[in-house]
């Protein structure tokens, strides 16, 4: 997965801190919508700087698409699957509507736990790994 980032500072001879704009589904066409109030937030990350980029330069960074898809599945797919599984299991066992909703909510929150644990482990390891592939 490639993205455009800005080099914020040089950490050492091989690494730089970059700022990657956070993407969203809306496309941030705020003149047309003005509904969410979100300004283009950015994520700071550490990147391997093999091209010698300097602070302030725009660069193209690459990260593992496989890792990103795994994170997306962990954050979005598992909670939804456990939500539906909880609801359907309670329904199949003849639980009342309240029990079905409660079991579904418990499944959803149980599905969030692996994402939280992975996030903590990822932060302890220094975050996602990016590589600066070229200047923009």
What are the residue boundaries of the structural domains of the chain, listed by start?
A: 2-135
How confident is the model over 107-122, as pLDDT tens digits?
A: 999 999 988 888 888 7
CA atoms within 13 A on the CB side of 34: 2
Q: Which of 11-20, 62-71, 76-85, 115-124 is predicted with the least confidence, judged by mean pLDDT?
A: 62-71
For residue 40 the two structure tokens come to 């283009």
**Residue 22 CA to chain centroid, in angstroms?**
9
Q: Based on C-alpha coordinates, what's the Rg of the chain?
A: 20
For residue 120 the two structure tokens come to 């903590």
pLDDT grade for 40, boundaries at 50, 70 and 90: low
C-alpha to C-alpha distance for 136 and 133, rounded to whole angstroms:
9
- H-type alpha helices, the chain: 65-72, 78-92, 97-124
C-alpha to C-alpha distance for 98 and 39, rounded to whole angstroms:
39
Task: Indicate whether 28 pLDDT > 60.
Answer: no
């Amino acid at each position: 997965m490639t993205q455009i980032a800005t080099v914020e500072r040089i950490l050492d001879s091989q690494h730089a801190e970059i700022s990657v704009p956070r993407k969203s589904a809306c496309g941030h066409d705020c003149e047309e919508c003005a509904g969410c109030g979100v300004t283009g937030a950015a994520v700071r990350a550490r990147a391997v700087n093999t091209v010698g980029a300097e602070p302030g330069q725009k660069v193209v960074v690459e990260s593992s698409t496989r890792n990103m898809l795994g994170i997306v599945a962990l954050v979005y797919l598992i909670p939804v699957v456990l939500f539906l599984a909880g609801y359907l299991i309670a329904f199949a066992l003849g639980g009342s509507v309240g029990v079905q909703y409660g079991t579904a909510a418990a499944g959803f929150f149980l599905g969030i736990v692996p994402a939280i644990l992975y996030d903590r482990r990822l932060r302890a390891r220094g975050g996602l790994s990016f590589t600066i592939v070229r200047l923009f």
